[in-house]
Structure 1
């Protein structure tokens, strides 16, 4: 049984230590057969760095590493190319001075490896231009430029917009060289988490082809289920395949199949098949949560949003779209595509159980600040939902909002809008892995939320009123709307299912549930 490639981003180390390697060289061969410039966006820890290193080994002509792999008898190994590799994955850079210093270090380290002497005292564009030209002249062939984590200096500072803009200009100063050096370049490959708009960053790169959403390269990073059945069959022997799928599969960038995050699978095997949030725990979505709060984002809208390709591939510091950030960071993925008014549209979804539970846990923390109390509330809420205990569920919801610290509402009007209460309730239900249908539509209109757990169905409407005295209300207006519109009718008559109508009325003044 082969070893697991835990924490390995270099092909040579992986092959020489007899580790499992899922062959991606067919797609590499498709890319490099002719000169070109390509860009790929994938979430963190998805195998981007390993693929970049694989390209490096191919262009440098290290044929023995590829014995038994697809490309072994396809590539002309007699021709090698000077490879310039730029990698920003190490450390965090927070000033333009530190960024420029790192860039100089990277350029001169490449020059040393390629045995090229660069002029000293030139600016970054001049130095990078020299490195490309001198490398091509020394090797007698055009150079290859591979850029890994191209956007990390920007993303590390995304919570400070001014600093992020400064870092963006710093890396743009580097990448702008590529267009002018086209005659000396054989191939360019850039990868990162986000795709910044061409105007803000990529205007200096000539004819950059984005393969992020491309059926040919949908499985370029990640493991397919077939990969698990073939390469990891011994490691996963006796483990329920459907549960692995439910937890970790589901990422999709077009093509024939979905993929798993490699980091999840390798850690899952290494931890003796413990189902946990391996990939999610390595990230920090705090900026995302703050962005959602600031924009008063209605969390139920995360359930199956429909967007254009423009939303998916354009990331701007000046105007960050939450859905763009969620997609490019891996918290949403493509469910399927369709055409509307001659435009390609994308239906998005949360990829799997790991992301659904963990992301909504973070939303709960951000929207309520109930980090310590959260698990107890979740346990009680789940028990009530599972048993059809409406009175118990409503008391849990009331206790939930009573527990939210008042400081959460300082200098904001979150408690004044209906969407806040719906968002908190939605996040709690999703964190329990209940099936949630926001804005559930029938021929009479749409109810705010339908929640399904086991054989229990809860049809819910939410209202927010100004006062605190429930006695002044003639009735429960939320429940009345459900009954008058017959929102629950479509679920009645289903064998073995109990349907509940739940009207929730919140008070702006008390910031809690007052009628149910």
Structure 2
């Protein structure tokens, strides 16, 4: 079996005979149709490999790294020197040092390509123009800029330094406008911000972040996974079903891909809301784990490495997130907020969540109409609520320890209620007070979803909707929650919860052969209690 690529460099992938999911048709069309492009994607999605592939084609051509790919007999570009700038490599807290390091990269490029008479300067915007002026009339350069917004996202809570970096970047991109020396320019980043001149009126850079034609250039399609990773898929099925890989049927493969899709698919970067992609990093790590661990583990790989980017950590220091909105599968935001975010300082929080990968497009983008966002899949939904847990709870509390991993799945009712009370005791009550039933329900849902439980929120049946249902292979737990701040009302509220469960049959729909545990409980919000004070197991008749 070929190895799964672990590099962002096409040369390393080919040299090690690793699997390369062929995206060269997109790159061919991109370079034929445009001269200057930008596209945003979340971290760990494949932006850097895409830029590296573009750079390798322009600098070295198709030999020897593109044999067997779509582009091999079609690429007809001349070779050009490539100036590849990754802003991840430059300082984020010292503007002067950032400028020095960026200028050093330009000097090294000029030296490596024998560009003489380059006038020195300490301002990157001036030095890049000097570079172009020093080039011969017929010379052209390919300019690739990766993670252009790294310095901005690092300073979301430092407005003065943010402004200094923004002004520097604005000047730098303004200096690139219209320069004939640039054969091709590609810029990537996580965010799309109108306060950088890259997107300003008159900019000659095409923003393809949600362009239909290139919506699957970064990310894996289901068809690509089945084509390039079929050996790994069959291996996983063989471990689960205890059969030889030769005995794996097409139906087995489809069912396995369906489960992968539920976990890692449905990121959408398509203005028409048609094309969707899997997370490249998560798919690679998931399939690698099958080979290494000899079992199938649907882990949360994206979050473990890139799921808590500094941009969100910094944002959350000064902003509270709207929990109840994030618990819904669809969040409507104004068209202009989505298309024209101005600055990280005042960006719509849901647009930021989308740009960082926690939410994705759930509707078409139509001028003048609201845009719908929501979590892409189960992995990112778990990551989202793990993120919220870090914000809302003291996650060093016992409730978040490994010893409580199976309490809800296997514990008795007293153990489950004790766990929930430990969770609620770990709340930051000054920021997230529990003053009503919807808030109580939302906070417990955040905890449960952050633990990757299969939680059905306000699950509908023919008679009504339950507060919380948690599904396990052999058990279903139903919680009907009531709120009061008076001890005298506790019994009455408990009776109401029990009556609702019985009359509406919460949890009975599609139960299968699971055991059903129905719990009525009452939370007392009095500041001296703040816990579930009374509960009851509902007996089925």
TM-score in terms of structure 2 length: 0.79
Deviation for aligned residue 1:422 = 3.3
**1:178 counterpart = 2:176:** yes
Counterpart for residue 253 of structure 1: 269
Q: Which blocks of at least 5 consecutive residues in structure 1 are unaligned?
A: none
Q: CA deviation at 1:394?
A: 2.8
2:112 paired with 1:109: no
C-alpha distance in structure 1 between counterparts of 2:47 and 2:448, whole Å: 34
Work out the number of aligned pairs and report it. Answer: 496
Structure 1 residues 15 and 339, CA gap change in structure 2 (3 angstroms): closer
CA distance in 1: counterparts of 2:359 and 2:503, whole angstroms = 29
C-alpha displacement at 1:464, in angstroms? 5.5
Say if 2:496 is the partner of 1:470: no
Q: Which moved more, 1:98-107 or 1:33-42?
A: 33-42
Report if aligned partners of 1:422, 1:462 keep a CA contact under 8 Å in 2: no
Contact 1:172 1:202 in 2 (8 A): no
Displacement of 1:152 in angstroms is 1.2
Deviations 1:175-212 (Å, cap 9, x if unpaired)?
Answer: 12122x34443332110112222567632871332222
Quick check: 2:523–2:533 contact (8 Å CA) kept in 1? Answer: yes
Distance 1:299 1:107, change over 3 A: farther
Counterpart-to-counterpart distance in 2, 1:104 and 1:501? 65
User: Are 1:492 and 1:499, in contact at CA under 8 Å, matched by a contact in 2?
Assistant: no
Q: 3-state SS of the aligned residue for 2:36?
A: strand
Q: How does 1:6-405 map to 2 (within 5 A)?
A: 6=6, 8-60=7-59, 62-64=61-63, 65-77=65-77, 79-90=78-89, 92-117=91-116, 118-121=118-121, 123-135=123-135, 137-138=136-137, 140=138, 142-179=140-177, 181-198=178-195, 202-203=199-200, 206-240=203-237, 241-242=256-257, 243-254=259-270, 258-271=276-289, 272-274=291-293, 275=297, 276-283=299-306, 284-285=308-309, 288=312, 291=315, 294-295=319-320, 297-299=322-324, 301-308=326-333, 310-313=336-339, 314=341, 316-334=343-361, 336-338=362-364, 343=369, 345-353=371-379, 355-371=380-396, 373=398, 374=400, 375-384=402-411, 392-402=415-425, 404=426
Aligned partners of 1:199, 1:224: CA distance in 2, in Å? 32
Cα distance between partner residues in 1 of 2:203 and 2:365: 29
Matching residue of 2:539: none
- CA apart distance, 1:14: 2.3
CA gap 1:244/1:204 in 2 versus in 1, 3 angstroms: same
Q: CA RMSD in A?
A: 3.6
Closer/same/farther in 2, CA of residues 363 and 35 from structure 1, 3 Å limit: closer
CA drift of 1:96 comes to 1.0
CA deviations 1:394-444 (Å, max 9, x no partner) are 333123323x27xx44xx342254465334301222134444454667999
Segments of structure 2 that go 5 or more residues without pairing to the other structure are 238-255, 536-541
96-105 or 152-161, which deviates more: 152-161
Per-residue Cα deviation, 1:88-119 (whole angstroms, up to 9, x for no partner): 12254211111111221122122223321310
Instruction: Tell me, in whole angstroms, the C-alpha distance in 2 between the residues paired with 1:46 and 1:90.
Output: 18
Inter-CA distance 296–244: structure 2 relative to 1 (3 Å threshold): closer
